[in-house]
Structure 1
């Protein structure tokens, strides 16, 4: 009896010490990445495969409390599209951006990442919303604010003021295998928590939906298109490397959880491929390994800080190999190297074929984009490539947005990014003579760097646009642009120019 009492006492002391240690450490977890916080909350799982038991009862019970219902509302004055427009584009029911004529509401799903209220969802679920309301598993309704959002990956991080929330365990999407069982958990069609099952039918899938969403015109651009038939230039910076599943996903599931049979989060449900607007067997989720980096950036900086190799490329197959006159049917054929980029510094050249990144074989563009999308400016990446049939390796230091924002039109000129005019939120360089000759103009400046959130960015002036006049005055350098700004009429500034898709006129 005495021995049993000692055992109980020892267990009590040990438990108290563990709880005390956790409480002592708990305030520090906010300084950790989402991945490191997971290590504190959950015991490590040594399984190599993501697959688990065919019985989904435990997995569904573990995950469902951490998946929330997100409701958004949009005012009548909000001229931006609702989240459902993203579906319309994929389903074939869209067109130009629809202007809202009355207050609207939409809904989606989200996944709780931390007990103090950080929630991941899709960008298109919360983008442009005037109000975001989260319904928790215990039916409480709480307001949420956006911490960060990124249309290039369709991810967003929101925050609610709540504590002791249920948390989902993150898995490893690299270990996901085609053919393994998965569950989709969310709030489809405004129903309560719904769990559906299916298998992973493909990985690293690109369907073009994020590029379409990026290219959706503003109302002004749409009216210009109707008048002239010209469309504005766009640079696709989206990253698509979806996990494809036949687990039933419907509108409302966006931002919800895709989990493996162990109850681990492996993806964030984002889209479906359908001509009807409802599930026909193809759903797509953002891999959680890509999401981890994006979400950590949101919490640290409020935005994504993405690294770039600095190349343009075309995925190889039999047809492209014939076009480029190469023997390789797989890999990425480099069509251009941006000046001052990591790729340029490492000596990569047009015609090189990227075969591996960090030892992983590259078959298509999503393979490269997802791996680079997990990295930050300043990170180094090992690249294996072919040049004239010989395999070579090099280490590349990734650069930041300054690489992306230099127009490919100027890549051959090697010009600097030019002088910045803070009022416009852009930089300008004198147009190279060969560029003026190409477009048949005698003067102009080129927009080389547009600052996020500033004026040119807000009115969607494209990078690489060759501006010929500002308020009717010819311009040849940044000073000409600045001198012409005060001559606006009725407080409106008008710039005109030309780009790869024709003539442009912007008034603001």
Structure 2
């Protein structure tokens, strides 16, 4: 028994001595090595080591009030067109009618208590009958007040027995990328549908002609949403949903809306003047980037470079010169042409805008009074063409066309007699409404436009219509 106790005591003492030796000689040395190390920690990029806040503490926006307000102002638009199929012998013998009613659907937004409704032009285009269904299922026939094909905006009117809930316009210029928005409409005939997203970009041009200035959003928009509302979290109308980009025809992540400032100006013009009043600066040029900056020999890659100034335009009268770089118009920064064209779409002739521009390295602010579109010119086949003044259209009963103000094309003058005062109404059987159509043709065909010219329709100085076919 004594031997066992002795053995246990010796073992315990041995363990204590071993642990003490480890603590004193080995562990102390390890700690010293760690604390005295001067080896640097390599870091190639700035890095934040702040802890991420818990998801439960994030402020999530509340869309319920904005959605509730918006759904009562968005309506279902039904467009009925009558199509006629070719009549067969069987139809003739059976006495069958080949006319068929086709119904298209879309959305619209009530913008006044007395029943004015804004929608897209493509929603109601070609309609023989328009029907409006409100959110409370009341149905009314609608009257078409006016349209603007360029901005794809149309104005309708219904006569309701009571005042209607209506949307309040917001300031789309103040909308910011990353801001939450709601898209409200009737996709696939699913009425009063609300989807949420953010503003992905502003001043988007889908046409390639630099004539558009859409708000881009990732809120889900599908066929049937066209003409519906894009609203902010306060329920204010900041856009009219108009288009999607898709290879399938359905939503894949991007949708586009006409900014509310443009839409509001268009419908106000339609109500007051019967058509859209367009104010222009009277400058020609292009947006800057690395390539164009090198071509123009300037040291900035953002802004609008003025390559020419229209004669008798507001820009010329204000002193804008070739070589100026427009950096800002009023409070809108100009980084691409659609920024400039989008803002000008909210203005009328005789409105005054302040241009902030760079000239010879110095910044200047110049007030410019906008001109009417009649002063706009475009070069085409060595001719200078201009929009027809509205008073001339009325007095001469001319519906469309552009007028020749200068002709330096000797062949056209000698062989066809085309001279100053002639009006070009069609090119290759395509109706020409304004110089914008000429610009589109030039962008489409480029240097091959003259080779692709097959037919030219004109009105001569005597008011007679002629057509010339080129082989």
TM over 0.5: yes
Q: Report the TM-score when normalising by structure 2.
A: 0.71
Asked if structure 1 preserves the Cα contact closer than 8 Å seen for 2:378 and 2:384, the reply is no
Distance 1:304 1:429, change over 3 A: closer
Whole-Å separation in 1 of the counterparts to 2:381 and 2:348:
25
Whole-Å separation in 2 of the counterparts to 1:53 and 1:339:
54
Distance 1:204 1:423, change over 3 A: closer
Q: Deviations over 1:127-167 (max 9, x none)?
A: 22111111111112111111121111111111011131111
| Structure 2 residue aligned with 1:380 | 352
| Structure 2 residue aligned with 1:147 | 145
Q: Report the TM-score when normalising by structure 1.
A: 0.66
Distance 1:397 1:250, change over 3 A: same
1:259 correspondence with 2:231: yes
Instruction: Compare relative contact order (CA 8 Å, sep 6+) and give the higher one, 1 or 2.
Output: 1
Whole-Å separation in 1 of the counterparts to 2:230 and 2:238:
6
Asked if structure 2 preserves the Cα contact closer than 8 Å seen for 1:407 and 1:448, the reply is no
1:335 correspondence with 2:335: no
Asked if structure 2 preserves the Cα contact closer than 8 Å seen for 1:449 and 1:463, the reply is no
Runs of at least 5 residues in structure 2 that lack an aligned partner in the other structure: 1-58, 86-97, 439-454
1:443 correspondence with 2:414: no
Q: Residue 60 of structure 1 aligns to a residue in which SS?
A: helix
Q: Residue 384 of structure 1 aligns to a residue in which SS?
A: strand
Whole-Å separation in 2 of the counterparts to 1:138 and 1:338:
53
Displacement after TM superposition at 1:279 (Å) = 0.6
Distance 1:257 1:359, change over 3 A: closer
Q: Residue 322 of structure 2 aligns to a residue in which SS?
A: coil
Asked if structure 2 preserves the Cα contact closer than 8 Å seen for 1:379 and 1:397, the reply is yes
Asked if structure 2 preserves the Cα contact closer than 8 Å seen for 1:189 and 1:252, the reply is yes
1:64 correspondence with 2:71: yes
Distance 1:161 1:283, change over 3 A: same
Whole-Å separation in 2 of the counterparts to 1:416 and 1:198:
41
Whole-Å separation in 2 of the counterparts to 1:461 and 1:496:
15
Runs of at least 5 residues in structure 1 that lack an aligned partner in the other structure: 1-51, 79-99, 212-235, 466-471, 486-492, 498-502
| Structure 1 residue aligned with 2:445 | none
| Structure 2 residue aligned with 1:390 | 362
Q: How many residues align?
A: 377
1:360 correspondence with 2:327: no
The residue correspondences of 1:314-329 to structure 2 (distance < 5 A) are: 314-329=286-301
Displacement after TM superposition at 1:407 (Å) = 3.4
Q: Residue 169 of structure 1 aligns to a residue in which SS?
A: coil
Greater shift, 391-400 or 181-190, is seen at: 391-400
1:347 correspondence with 2:347: no
Higher Cα Rg: structure 1 or 2? 2
Whole-Å separation in 2 of the counterparts to 1:462 and 1:121:
23
| Structure 2 residue aligned with 1:274 | 246
Whole-Å separation in 2 of the counterparts to 1:314 and 1:448:
29
Distance 1:402 1:388, change over 3 A: same
Which of residues 431, 449, 459 in structure 2 aligns to 1:460?
Answer: 431
The residue correspondences of 1:33-44 to structure 2 (distance < 5 A) are: none
Q: Deviations over 1:16-61 (max 9, x none)?
A: xxxxxxxxxxxxxxxxxxxxxxxxxxxxxxxxxxxx9712112111
